[in-house]
Amino acid sequence: MSIDPRLAIDGGRPVRESYLVFGSPDLQQPEIDEVMATLKTGWIGTGPKVARFEEEFRRYVGAQHAVALSSCTAGLHLGMIALGVKPGDEVIVPSMTFVATANSVIHVGATPVLVDCEPGTMLIDPKAVEAAITEKTRVIVPVHFAGRPADMTALEAIARPRGIKLLEDAAHAIETVHQGRKVGTIADATAFSFYVTKNVITGEGGMVTTQDEELAAWIKVAGLHGMSKDAWKRYSDQGYKHYEVVFPGFKYNMMDLQASIGLHQLARVEENWEKRRRLWDRYLAAFGDLPLDLPPEIRPGDRHAYHLFIVEVQTEKLRMDRDEVMMALHKENIGTGIHYRAVHVHPYYRETYGYRPGQLPVSDRISERTLSLPFSTRMTEEDIEDTFAAVRKVLEAAAR
Ligand SMILES: Cc1ncc(COP(=O)(O)O)c(C=O)c1O
């Protein structure tokens, strides 16, 4: 059927009849079978499947150690404690991130120092990091935004001579490589996410990788009430064993039910990466003539995880702002996302730390213009064509 040029928001016929959900998880039969099998074993909590998932993830990343947790936020929180962040310390975080990155600093009583990002790549700006360092700085948290690697080489050069630790937020970046080095092997610790919209999902879930054996062992214990190593085996067929509490820890463990999904998702991680890479190229080709700033080229030596396809809407050329474009797409039955409104524009951060809109100009500008298009490997050819058509329809109407 031909496209109705009148926008659905103005009463026209939407580009498609059913709603295309943004970030729809790509779950397949092997995950479903594995979850069923796990349910039937009667052991659904932390157990052998989590241990297998940790080992397979560790091998995929090429790290020395991997510890599965209930979320990436849990990993960031435990990472902060493990790297010695204490009340009164400062941790440098890009404002262009999901709030969990900054919230986890507050959870240990420290102060998040929000810095600006570079235009285009939306990655933490090493010059801004250097300018924000004080005597209280303990950790820098680079975010590999949308799956593109932050400049770890520059950040290492800033952090290492000063004894500052690096904690990578790799929620978007399972497949990411920085200048030949795999994300998850560079910083002192790295936190990954398996949240429902991510490249590998477990529903909720996370993983910390590190090259430091002691740090990994501590995170493992701290993530399960602070109970001594392998406490999860206390009800297994090996007979009851006493555990000892060595730290008042947290309830951050992953379940075998979650790992059952993750194992099969991880098995398809490269196949899915390749699908998104092809879709990325098609998006770049399809939208070149529209009033959008498209993602910049990928630096030679880097590998992008292609987690999110983010455009910036050139609102100065349109009669709609970004939110209106988003709503118009929604009415055309295309779900989109916003990644993100910067951390410093949120009320808690403004009121507690005195941040003002305009203070981090690049992040402010992105906050007002950014829009993430549907990018799930579950999308059919029809879903992709509908997205092309709806984005074109809305932006051409908005440009008039
Ligand atoms: C950049 C970033 N950091 C951290 C998180 C938190 O991940 P989780 O939901 O697994 O705690 C997310 C999740 O959306 C994220 O996008």
pLDDT tens for residues 16-33? 999 999 999 999 999 999
**Last residue of a domain, which of 215, 242, 267?**
267
User: Count of residues for the chain?
Assistant: 400
Residue 1 resides in a domain? no
CB neighbour list of residue 372: distance below 8 Å, 6 or more residues apart: 22, 308, 309, 310, 311, 336, 337, 338, 339
d(CA 120, CA 82): 33
Domain co-membership, 82 together with 225 = yes
Residue 203 resides in a domain? yes
When divided into structural domains, the chain yields a total of 2
CA 99 / ligand 1 centre spacing (Å): 8
Residue 332 resides in a domain? yes
Say if ligand 1 is within 6 A of residue 167 CB: no
Say if ligand 1 is within 6 A of residue 306 CB: no
Residue 3 resides in a domain? no
Cross-strand bridge partners of residue 303:
177
Q: Which two tokens stand for residue 326?
A: 């988003």
Domain co-membership, 67 together with 192 = yes
The boundaries of the domain holding residue 141 are 29-267
Domain co-membership, 261 together with 305 = no
Domain co-membership, 280 together with 291 = yes
Q: What are phi and psi of 150, to 5 degrees?
A: -70, 160
Catalytic residue (one of 49, 165, 182, 198): 198
CB 339 within 8 A of CB 146: yes
Closest approach atom of ligand 1 to CA 143:
1
Domain co-membership, 98 together with 61 = yes
Count CB neighbours of 343 within 10 A.
26
- Supply the CATH number for residue 246's domain: 3.40.640.10
Nearest alpha-carbon partner for 174 in 310, 304, 325, 32: 304
CA 71 / ligand 1 centre spacing (Å): 8
* pTM exceeds 0.75 for this model: yes
Residue 226 resides in a domain? yes
Domain co-membership, 288 together with 160 = no
If you take atom 8 of ligand 1, which residue's CA is the nearest one? 72
In the structure, how many helices (H) and strands (E) does the chain have? 13, 12
> 127 falls in which pLDDT band (50, 70, 90)?
very high
Would you call 198 a catalytic residue per the annotation?
yes
- Of 78, 95, 96, 98, the residue with max ligand 1 atoms within 8 A of its CB, to mutate for a pocket test, comes to 98
At residue 232, the pLDDT reads 73
By percentage, how much of the chain surpasses pLDDT 70? 100
**Last residue of a domain, which of 241, 267, 293?**
267
Digit-coded pLDDT (tens) for 202-256: 999 999 999 999 999 999 999 999 998 777 777 777 788 788 898 899 999 999 9
Domain co-membership, 41 together with 77 = yes
Residue 333 resides in a domain? yes
Domain co-membership, 252 together with 352 = no
Three-class secondary structure of residue 86 per DSSP: coil
Digit-coded pLDDT (tens) for 105-117: 999 999 999 999 9
Instruction: Identify each DSSP E strand in 187-346 by its residue range.
Output: 189-193, 206-210, 292-293, 309-313
At residue 388, the pLDDT reads 97
